[in-house]
Amino acid sequence: MIRFADEHSREAVRAMWKRCFGDPDDYMDVYFRHKYRDDQTLIYFEGEMAVASLQMLPYTFTFHGCEIPVLYLSGVCTLPEARKKGIMHQLLLRSFEVAREREFPLMLLVPQEEWLLGFYAKYGFAQTFDAGVEQMLLLKKVLDLHPGDLQAAYRAFDSHFRGCEMTLQKTYDDFCAIVEEASLYHFPPKKNLIGMSRIIDVERLLQLYAAAQDDINFSLKVVDPLLSRNSGIFSISGGIAIKVEQPIDSMLELAITDLTQHLMGYHTSERGEQIATLFPEKVPAMHYMLE
């Protein structure tokens, strides 16, 4: 059975996190104080025992000139004795339903190990963020420029990233959590994180894409085996995307994973002239995720 967490089960979520990830208590204190919420946490129960959970953290993301709400999957874990039973399969599918119900068109995650790229790909996630090579803006430097004034430090931090396309944005509360967590480890340098995305509402994202590319006209067939509402034929013309029964212009057929990468401009210059023209290349970025 899958349920949202409550005051009776939230300690079980923390215990699962500790057992599965082994993070130190001081880090977990920061995370659970700043980020954890019952209504953002799904738990799978075997009888009355919590054996798996995941958290869906809300953020905003700059996407084709707009800021859209996204959910970031965190703390995805199953107790060792409950693995290989299809439990996480059920939790992930339920998380997609929650995202749709709450009108989040896109989900993001950071795979902690390389093999997880393949695991999440089975659920329609596609790699859309590369691990960074260069160091990010130094958090300690920002704080030192604004001693004793976290609000001013946040404004400087935010102004550095707010105008960046395909970038996960942070609120002031997020920034406070980032600072507290970084202080535990003496403010280590950070880089962009490898990450994946999953489209929840393809029509909404295509509308935003079309509005930003109003000189492009084509028809698109989308295939999404898991989320059937995403599948269909769409006409993109004159800054508008609409679902149609039959293609109006020349049609491009894409799996949901390919479309995810293309809409985010992920290495599109390497995918041939047609894709590079329809989907201009961008550099998606995700960082400072309390990783």
Say what angle helices 172-184 and 25-34 make with each other, to 10 degrees.
180
For the chain, what is the radius of gyration of the CA atoms? 20
Residue 187 corresponds to which tokens in the numbers above?
């403010």
Question: pLDDT value at position 284?
Answer: 98
**Pick the residue with more confidence: 247 or 180?**
180
Q: Where in the chain is the domain with CATH 3.40.630.30?
A: 2-58+71-104
Question: pLDDT value at position 137?
Answer: 86
Give domain 198-278's CATH architecture.
Answer: 2-Layer Sandwich (3.30)
CA distance 189 to 200: 33
Q: pLDDT tens, 43-66? A: 999 999 999 999 999 999 999 999
Q: pLDDT tens, 253-266? A: 999 999 999 999 99
Q: Are strands 66-78 and 49-63 parallel, antiparallel or unpaired?
A: antiparallel
Mean pLDDT value across the chain: 97
Q: Where in the chain is the domain with CATH 3.30.1050.10?
A: 198-278
Residue 271 corresponds to which tokens in the numbers above?
């995918």
Nearest to 237 by CA among 201, 255, 211: 211
**CATH number assigned to the domain covering 2-58+71-104:** 3.40.630.30
Q: Kindly report whether the global pTM for this prediction surpasses the value 0.85.
A: yes
